[in-house]
């Protein structure tokens, strides 16, 4: 299947279609009736006030919420046409295909090399030459290679916060996902490191589908192609208010609530 | 006390903390120093290389008791560590938070509080009598495993729980199975804590006397198999102090015991350091 991205180029990143999605923690409904088409090889930003279910939604896309006891899902999320909640889907394969970058950089307390080689190794790649190639390629793609190529054996914890986050991105790239989820990836970083990550995201969007949750509206406006605005309903369930191209959402929002939020009237 | 300024409170707190630290250190130095000073003069090659011969003056050396002690600890650890770590992994990573798990935890906590002599009686009844292992290293080691499992499990579980949740998330998000995540990320990160658990258990194993007396007997010969009895160093110290008038030899045995504990702890730390580096790929 050939998928085309926004610019008409071929794209290997997956497309995601969310249908009538409801999500519950026990008896509390965290997300209500979400319908969303996420394009391949583009950056989709998810914005909204705290507690509106942005992160919960993101974590559904690689089924990280499976780990939460008592959570329940209704509806479907299709990745390239296949429902990820289907019984035949192996969650381990899904997560390999849908990588995740977390809010706080979380490199393993091992060497830089082993951080990147960890995923491929666990998926059965043992050949040293091959692993070295993967590590180099992943670090290059994450724009970190030049800074760390002489100290691959050192602990990853010795890197700066921004470098650690790019290492985490390289770690995700090492297992060749189609989709990369980012949960406020820059909230713990300084402005310079943030800009570097944003540049990196633009480069990666040529080959990967990126979905980013962010509190920072300038960031959403700067990097994303499409933007989804989530908000809490009176019973605190999160729902999708408006979804469209980023330029439209930020210049000509259709919903009053979106306008109020992006102009900083609340949130 | 309300008018005491923050600075004065700070000073008092610091004095208290320093005082506590110094007292602890002094106690340690005094006890170890006293035993070493009293004991070491009687330690010589002959003392280390002959077996106890008995008698009112505690003739002979301690060779067989050193061998028995090391033998017993070795067998105990081989059984204790895998079972203990396995149970801790189950409780920390797999066990659902339900009634059964709560009962298991309650059981473990209760076991940890039971006096060792009760375990000794249990070991005597089960291993020595019913299973006919007689007074032997095996009976002693199995009894110690029962005695030490609660400590091993709870300390290891604490070590596993202290490993950041973010590492687990990162590993799972890369598409690893739960077991890959545990064996490659969580366990290596928890090794310092697991080593503490092992050292605690070795310390207690070396210190036990009563529960071993009723499961290992007190034979002064070198045990040549798992099914032969033996006498540990601690038991020998007790024997020398209470049944003979050879206080100098009791002190000498105690000095050797302390040195062995220090050596075993150092060795365990060193091994764990290497093991951790290898698992983390830094070696």
- Smallest Cα distance from B77 to chain A, Å: 28
How high is the pLDDT of residue A212?
A: 94
Which residues, at least 6 apart from A61, have a Cβ–Cβ distance to it below 8 Å? A16, A77, A84, A98, A179, A181, A211
Q: What is the ipTM of this complex?
A: 0.85
Q: How many CB pairs under 8 A join A and B?
A: 74
DSSP for A132-200, please give it.
HHHHHHHHHHTT-HHHHTT-TTSBGGGS-HHHHHHHHHHHHHTT--SEEEEESTTTTS-HHHHHHHHHH
Q: How many degrees, rounded to 5, is the angle at CA B7 between CA B2 and CA B10?
A: 90
**Residues of chain B neighbouring A111 (CB-CB closer than 8 A):** 280-282
A114 touches B: beta carbon within 8 Å: yes
How high is the pLDDT of residue A2?
A: 44
pLDDT bucket at B200, cuts 50 / 70 / 90: confident
**Residues of chain B neighbouring A107 (CB-CB closer than 8 A):** 170
- Smallest Cα distance from B169 to chain A, Å: 8
> Considering the domain boundaries, does residue A161 fall inside one?
no
pLDDT bucket at B3, cuts 50 / 70 / 90: low
Looking at the predicted structure, is the pLDDT value of residue B58 above 80? no
Cβ-based burial of B111 (10 A; exposed 0-12, middle 13-18, buried ≥19): middle
Looking at the predicted structure, is the pLDDT value of residue B125 above 90? no
Count the neighbouring beta carbons within 10 Å of the beta carbon of residue B14: 10
Q: Do B281 and A155 touch (CB under 8 A)?
A: no
How high is the pLDDT of residue A206?
A: 87
Looking at the predicted structure, is the pLDDT value of residue A6 above 70? no
**Residues of chain B neighbouring A180 (CB-CB closer than 8 A):** none
**Residues of chain A neighbouring B164 (CB-CB closer than 8 A):** 106
A95 touches B: beta carbon within 8 Å: yes
What's the mean pLDDT in B108-124? 88
What's the mean pLDDT in B228-246? 81
Looking at the predicted structure, is the pLDDT value of residue A3 above 70? no
Which residues 80-119 of B have a C-beta within 8 angstroms of A?
96-97
**Higher pLDDT, residue A175 or B241:** A175
pLDDT bucket at B280, cuts 50 / 70 / 90: low
**Higher pLDDT, residue B50 or B174:** B174
How high is the pLDDT of residue B232?
A: 83
Q: Are strands B52-54 and B59-60 parallel, antiparallel or unpaired?
A: antiparallel
What's the mean pLDDT in A48-58? 88
What's the mean pLDDT in A80-106? 89
Could you tell me what percent of chain B has a pLDDT over 70? Answer: 95
What's the mean pLDDT in B53-60? 72
Would residue B132 be called left, alpha or beta, if left means φ above 0 and alpha means ψ between -120 and 50 degrees? left
Q: Do B169 and A102 touch (CB under 8 A)?
A: yes
pLDDT bucket at B283, cuts 50 / 70 / 90: very low
How high is the pLDDT of residue A1?
A: 38
B14-32: pLDDT as tens digits: 999 999 999 999 999 999 8
What's the mean pLDDT in A71-89? 88
A213 touches B: beta carbon within 8 Å: no
- C-alpha to C-alpha distance for A163 and A179, rounded to whole angstroms: 21
Looking at the predicted structure, is the pLDDT value of residue A267 above 70? no
Measure CB to CB from residue B173 to each of A100, A109, A111 and give the nearest one. Answer: A100
Q: Do B170 and A168 touch (CB under 8 A)?
A: yes
Q: Is B229 helix (H, G, I), strand (E, B) or coil?
A: coil
Measure CB to CB from residue A92 to each of B170, B175, B185 and give the nearest one. Answer: B175
**Residues of chain A neighbouring B177 (CB-CB closer than 8 A):** 92, 122
Q: In the structure encoding, which two tokens stand for residue B86, read together?
A: 């396995």
- C-alpha to C-alpha distance for A106 and A103, rounded to whole angstroms: 9
Q: Report the CATH number at residue A254.
A: 3.40.50.300
How high is the pLDDT of residue B175?
A: 87
Q: Do B174 and A175 touch (CB under 8 A)?
A: yes
A206-251: pLDDT as tens digits: 889 999 999 888 889 899 999 999 998 888 888 899 998 898 888 8
Q: Do A110 and B171 touch (CB under 8 A)?
A: no
For the segment(s) B45-279, the CATH number from 3.30.1370.100, 1.10.3720.10, 3.40.50.300, 3.40.50.10890 is 1.10.3720.10
pLDDT bucket at B274, cuts 50 / 70 / 90: confident
CA torsion B83-B88-B89-B93 (nearest 10°) is 160
pLDDT bucket at A4, cuts 50 / 70 / 90: very low
How high is the pLDDT of residue B150?
A: 93
Measure CB to CB from residue A99 to each of B169, B173, B177 and give the nearest one. Answer: B173
Tally of domains within chain A: 1
Domain with A21 in it: 3-104+180-262
Mutation site for A-interface testing, chosen from B94, B98, B167, B170 by largest number of A Cβ within 10 Å:
B170
A66 touches B: beta carbon within 8 Å: no
- C-alpha to C-alpha distance for A160 and A90, rounded to whole angstroms: 35
How high is the pLDDT of residue B18?
A: 95
Looking at the predicted structure, is the pLDDT value of residue B162 above 70? yes
Q: Do A172 and B174 touch (CB under 8 A)?
A: yes
Euclidean distance between the first and final Cα of chain B, in Å? 56
How high is the pLDDT of residue A156?
A: 87
pLDDT bucket at B262, cuts 50 / 70 / 90: confident
Which residues, at least 6 apart from B110, have a Cβ–Cβ distance to it below 8 Å? none
How high is the pLDDT of residue B135?
A: 83
**Higher pLDDT, residue B92 or B227:** B92
Nearest to A218 by CA among A264, A167, A176: A264
User: How confident is the prediction for chain B on average, in pLDDT?
Assistant: 85
**Residues of chain A neighbouring B281 (CB-CB closer than 8 A):** 110-111, 113-114
Q: Do B174 and A153 touch (CB under 8 A)?
A: no
What's the mean pLDDT in A180-203? 88
Q: Do A97 and B175 touch (CB under 8 A)?
A: yes
How high is the pLDDT of residue B233?
A: 84
């Amino acid at each position: 299947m050939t998928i085309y991205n926004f610019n008409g180029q071929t794209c290997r990143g997956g497309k995601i279609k969310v249908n009538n999605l409801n999500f519950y923690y026990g008896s509390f409904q965290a997300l209500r009736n979400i319908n969303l088409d996420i394009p391949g090889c583009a950056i989709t930003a998810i914005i909204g006030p705290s507690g509106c279910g942005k992160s919960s939604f993101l974590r559904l896309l690689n089924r990280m919420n499976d780990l939460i006891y008592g959570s329940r899902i209704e509806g479907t999320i299709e990745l390239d046409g296949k429902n990820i909640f289907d019984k035949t889907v192996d969650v381990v394969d899904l997560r390999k295909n849908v990588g995740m970058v977390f809010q706080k950089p979380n490199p393993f307390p091992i060497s830089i090399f082993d951080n990147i080689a960890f995923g491929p190794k666990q998926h059965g790649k043992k050949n040293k030459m091959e692993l070295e190639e993967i590590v180099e390629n992943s670090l290059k793609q994450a724009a970190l290679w030049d800074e760390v190529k002489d100290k691959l054996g050192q602990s990853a914890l010795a890197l700066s916060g921004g470098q650690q986050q790019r290492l985490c991105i390289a770690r995700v790239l090492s297992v060749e996902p189609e989709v990369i989820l980012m949960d406020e990836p820059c909230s713990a970083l300084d402005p310079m490191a943030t800009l570097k990550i944003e540049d990196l995201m633009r480069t990666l969007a040529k080959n990967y589908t990126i979905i980013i949750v962010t509190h920072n509206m300038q960031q959403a406006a700067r990097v994303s192609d499409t933007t989804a605005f989530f908000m809490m309903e009176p019973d605190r369930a999160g729902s999708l208010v408006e979804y469209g191209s980023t330029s439209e959402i930020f210049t000509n929002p259709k919903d009053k609530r979106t306008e109020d939020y992006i102009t900083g009237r609340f949130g | 006390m309300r008018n005491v300024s923050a600075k004065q409170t700070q000073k008092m707190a610091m004095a208290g903390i320093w005082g506590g630290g110094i007292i602890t250190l002094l106690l340690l130095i005094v006890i170890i120093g006293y035993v070493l000073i009293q004991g070491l003069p009687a330690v010589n090659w002959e003392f280390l290389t002959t077996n106890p011969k008995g008698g009112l003056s505690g003739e002979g050396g301690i060779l067989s008791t050193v061998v028995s002690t090391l033998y017993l600890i070795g067998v105990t650890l081989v059984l204790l560590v895998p079972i203990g770590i396995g149970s801790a992994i189950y409780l920390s990573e797999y066990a659902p938070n339900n009634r059964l798990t709560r009962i298991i935890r309650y059981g473990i906590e209760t076991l940890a509080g039971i006096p060792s002599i009760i375990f000794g009686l249990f070991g005597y009844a089960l291993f020595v009598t019913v299973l006919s292992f007689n007074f032997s290293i095996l009976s002693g080691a199995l009894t110690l495993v029962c005695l030490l499992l609660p400590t091993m499990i709870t300390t290891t579980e604490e070590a596993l729980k202290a490993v950041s949740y973010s590492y687990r998330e990162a590993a799972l998000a890369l598409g690893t199975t739960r077991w890959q995540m545990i064996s490659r990320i969580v366990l290596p990160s928890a090794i310092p804590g697991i080593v503490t658990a092992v050292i605690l258990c070795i310390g207690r194993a070396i210190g036990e006397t009563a529960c071993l007396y009723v499961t290992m007997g007190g034979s002064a010969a070198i045990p040549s198999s798992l099914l032969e009895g033996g006498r540990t160093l601690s038991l020998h110290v007790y024997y020398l102090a209470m049944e003979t008038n050879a206080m100098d030899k009791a002190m000498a045995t105690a000095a050797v015991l302390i040195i062995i504990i220090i050596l075993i702890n150092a060795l365990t730390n060193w091994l764990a350091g290497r093991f951790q580096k290898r698992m983390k790929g830094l070696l």
